[in-house]
Amino acid sequence: MEKATFGAGCFWGVEDRFRQQEGVIDAVSGYAGGQLDNPSYRDVCTDTTGHAEVVEVTYDPQRVGYDTLLNLFWGMHNPTTLNRQGPDIGTQYRSVIFFHTPAQEQLARASKEALDRSGRFAEPVVTQILPAPTFYRAEEYHQRYLEKHGRGGCHL
């Protein structure tokens, strides 16, 4: 099993979309990339901790490739809006790929460059590609949120 970590706005919809991908073993909502240890949702929502809402994906590379996960990531949000997805504004909603291996970094950078060259978006892709920092699992009420409460409340 391998891990991949993505931030694409509100983590509820991101988690739900990755869970539906064949070969994904688990997808967990959480926080990464900030300065505060063990942040809470309330902390992250202040937009002062530096954390992004992210999903840590555990996947079987024999069943799904990292490139497939990247394509899913690019298709589920607008990677050209800085610190914003839909009505959600703040650095916690930024577009970010946290890579766990040099191979993931290489694939992420190549896919970002290809997306930029594709002409799919009029604006440049602003997605950050950074080494995976400590991942902090979000509170339990955020896990599988859309499964528990319906899929109408998310912006994806």
pLDDT tens per residue across all 156 residues of the chain: 999 999 999 999 999 999 999 999 999 999 999 999 999 999 999 999 999 999 999 999 999 999 999 999 999 999 999 999 989 999 999 999 999 999 999 999 999 999 999 999 999 999 999 999 999 999 999 998 888 887 654 444
Alpha helices in 29-95 (DSSP H): 41-44, 66-75
Active-site annotation holder among 8, 10, 54, 97: 10
On whether the 2-153 domain is CATH 3.20.20.20, my answer is: no
Cβ partners under 8 Å of residue 108, min gap 6 = 70, 97, 99, 129
pLDDT at 155: 45
Cα 84 to Cα 92: distance, rounded to the nearest angstrom: 8
* 100, two tokens: 């766990």
Is residue 8 within 8 Å of residue 76, measured between CB atoms?
yes
pLDDT at 156: 40
Indicate the pTM of the whole model.
Answer: 0.94
Q: Active-site residue 154, yes or no?
A: no
Domain boundaries, the chain: 2-153
**Phi-psi region at 150: left, alpha or beta (left = phi > 0; alpha = psi -120 to 50):** left
pLDDT at 151: 60
